[in-house]
Amino acid sequence: MKRWIVVALLGIVAVSCGSDDAQTPVVLDVSDSGSAITLAVGQTFEVQLESNPTTGYGWVVAQQPEGVAVQSSDYQAPDTSLVGAGGVEVFVFEATAAGSGTLRLDYVRSFDDPPVPADTVEYDLTIND
């Protein structure tokens, strides 16, 4: 009887330790620009980019492949009392359908007409079922 309980518990532990790629968050930053990224449908991923809104600049999604949806975007202020210090903009995306394409974000001043990017990052995405 005890052997059966031990075997059952080991089976439960083995199942709970398995990985689920659709639940594993992927975090990208400027160093990943130009990289090929493979995701699964349903998987979320973040793009974290340094930003300083006191300069008038901010990151915008300039190109987004089909099958990728923006879930949220947020600015995280730095943990300092220095005036004018930059923080990080965090974009959360979800891979919603299989396919491939380029995700591009531009660092622009929204009041420029036309906006000219001071910086650009691109990620080549492949989303698998």
Q: Mind listing the domains of the chain with CATH numbers?
A: 21-128 (2.60.40.2020)
Mean pLDDT along residues 34-62: 97
Its pTM stands at 0.81
Mean pLDDT along residues 71-82: 95
Q: What is the mean pLDDT of the chain?
A: 87
Strand intervals (E) in the chain: 26-28, 36-40, 44-51, 57-63, 68-76, 87-95, 99-109, 119-128
